[in-house]
């Protein structure tokens, strides 16, 4: 139980102050990010690591079958982006639609929340590739240049301790990048296919945090990540949530549009959810 509650003044929702302090929430709204250390319970963390191992094996098998070492953004033992993998057989949805995620998403977004996208980002030991400066919304805009979507929330959940040596994420606060209300144009980098939206010399703020932490940041905030130079994998689960379904200008859903919170209450129901696989434009 919270010892005290603070309130998201924009939406009048009470927030558990043991989870998110008023200062953290203010920083999210002003600068576009907040870092919540060690908030994922140990049993949940272990479950997510097991699901992650299964998915890496699954992608490796697909590469074996196709006799390739690169499939989309997945590079064998190097960098994996595994998208839209929650399904009734896996246990992933227990985390994606957990009370913990309900608390964080309501604090950031208010009483209406949809799952927009979910993916795993794994960097292999000693060679996990870097990822270039971008706004997550920059990927939406690149695919749909006339998009008018509101900022959505990325929850970057650490399954391992993260530091500069193993390829952690770096964030550029809104006030240093002019991103509070703006999606910049991004260009595609040839060698990696990454979209790049910032080429300035601000290195950003490195996130150094233990396993079980969540960095919650706005899809308008610029971020990048380094390469993994350690002898262990760096594993992240990334859930993205929006205040309403994000559609392409032609009306099609961009990635997912699963109703999670309605009028401040959790409404996700695994018995009625279609668990439909939808490819994002990533
Ligand atoms: O986990 C990482 O290395 C960065 C992932 C990221 O920035 C993204 O998926 O938008």
Domain containing residue 240? 5-266
Residue 2 pLDDT greater than 80, yes or no: no
From 128, 136, 238, 282, mutation site for ligand 1 pocket: most ligand atoms within 8 A of C-beta: 238
Residue 5: predicted pLDDT: 58
Dist. CA 252 → ligand 1 center (Å): 24
Q: Is residue 144 part of a domain?
A: yes
Q: Residues with Cβ within 6 A of ligand 1?
A: 121, 131, 136, 167, 169, 223, 225, 236, 238
Dist. CA 263 → ligand 1 center (Å): 30
Per-residue pLDDT tens over the stretch 8-42: 655 667 788 889 999 999 999 999 999 999 999 99
Per-residue pLDDT tens over the stretch 191-234: 877 899 999 999 999 999 999 999 999 999 999 999 999 999 99
CB 233 within 8 A of CB 57: no
Q: Is residue 191 part of a domain?
A: yes
Question: What is the separation of C-alpha 233 from the centre of its chain, rounded to a whole number of angstroms?
Answer: 18
Q: Is residue 134 part of a domain?
A: yes
- Give me the number of domains the chain comprises: 1
Q: Which atom of ligand 1 is nearest to the CA of 225?
A: 3
Q: Of residues 3 and 26, which shows the higher confidence score?
A: 26
DSSP string of 41-110, one letter each residue: -HHHHHHHHHHHHHHHHHHHHHHHHHT-SEETTEETTTEEEEES---TTSSHHHHHTSHHHHHHHHHHH-
Q: Is residue 282 part of a domain?
A: no
Report the predicted TM-score, pTM, of the whole model to 2 decimal places: 0.92
C-alpha torsion sign, points 126, 153, 159, 267: negative
Residue 282: predicted pLDDT: 41
Nearest to 270 by CA among 111, 93, 99, 116: 93
Please report which confidence band the pLDDT of residue 90 belongs to, taking 50, 70 and 90 as the band edges. Answer: confident
Q: Is residue 97 part of a domain?
A: yes
Dist. CA 68 → ligand 1 center (Å): 23
From 131, 165, 218, mutation site for ligand 1 pocket: most ligand atoms within 8 A of C-beta: 131
If DSSP codes are grouped into helix, strand and coil, which group holds residue 38? coil
Q: Which atom of ligand 1 is nearest to the CA of 81?
A: 9
The token pair at 50 is 């097991």
Q: Is residue 280 part of a domain?
A: no
- The whole-angstrom separation of Cα 8 and Cα 109 is 9
Dist. CA 241 → ligand 1 center (Å): 15
Q: Is residue 198 part of a domain?
A: yes
Burial of 10 (0-12, 13-18, 19+ CB in 10 A): exposed
Least confident residue range of 14-18, 140-144, 147-151, 171-175: 14-18
- The CATH number that applies at residue 115 is 2.60.120.620
* Residue with CA nearest ligand 1 atom 3: 225
Residue 1: predicted pLDDT: 39
Please report which confidence band the pLDDT of residue 72 belongs to, taking 50, 70 and 90 as the band edges. Answer: confident
| The Cα angle at residue 259 between residues 10 and 7, in degrees rounded to 5 | 20
Q: Is residue 38 part of a domain?
A: yes
C-alpha torsion sign, points 60, 154, 88, 143: negative
Per-residue pLDDT tens over the stretch 238-278: 999 999 999 988 888 888 899 999 999 999 988 887 766 55
Using left for φ > 0, alpha for ψ between -120 and 50, and beta otherwise, residue 60 falls in alpha
> How many CB atoms neighbour CB 91 within 10 A?
15
Residue 15: predicted pLDDT: 80
């Amino acid at each position: 139980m919270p010892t005290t509650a603070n309130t998201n003044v924009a939406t009048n929702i009470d927030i558990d102050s043991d989870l998110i302090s008023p200062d953290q929430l203010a920083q999210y709204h002003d600068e576009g990010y907040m870092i919540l250390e060690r908030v994922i319970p140990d049993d949940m963390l272990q479950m997510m690591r097991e699901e992650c191992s299964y998915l890496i094996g699954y992608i490796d098998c697909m590469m074996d079958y196709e006799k390739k070492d690169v499939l989309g953004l997945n590079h064998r033992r190097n960098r994996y982006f595994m998208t839209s993998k929650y399904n009734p057989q896996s246990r992933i949805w227990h985390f994606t639609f957990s009370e913990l995620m309900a608390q964080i998403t309501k604090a950031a977004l208010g009483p209406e929340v949809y799952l927009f996208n979910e993916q795993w980002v794994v960097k292999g030991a000693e060679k996990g590739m870097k990822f270039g400066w971008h706004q997550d919304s920059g990927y939406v805009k690149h695919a749909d240049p006339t998009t008018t979507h509101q900022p959505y929330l990325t929850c970057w959940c650490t399954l391992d301790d993260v530091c500069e040596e193993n390829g952690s994420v770096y964030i550029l606060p809104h006030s240093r990048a002019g991103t509070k209300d703006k999606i910049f144009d991004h260009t595609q980098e040839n060698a990696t296919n990454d979209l790049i939206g910032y080429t300035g010399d601000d290195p950003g703020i490195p996130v150094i945090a233990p396993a079980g932490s969540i960095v919650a940041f706005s899809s308008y905030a610029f971020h990048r990540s380094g390469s993994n130079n350690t002898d262990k994998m760096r594993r992240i689960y990334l859930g993205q949530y929006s205040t309403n379904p994000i559609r392409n200008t032609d009306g099609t859903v961009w990635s997912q549009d699963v109703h999670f919170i309605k009028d401040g209450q959790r409404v996700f129901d695994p018995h009625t959810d279609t668990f439909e696989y939808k490819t994002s434009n990533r």
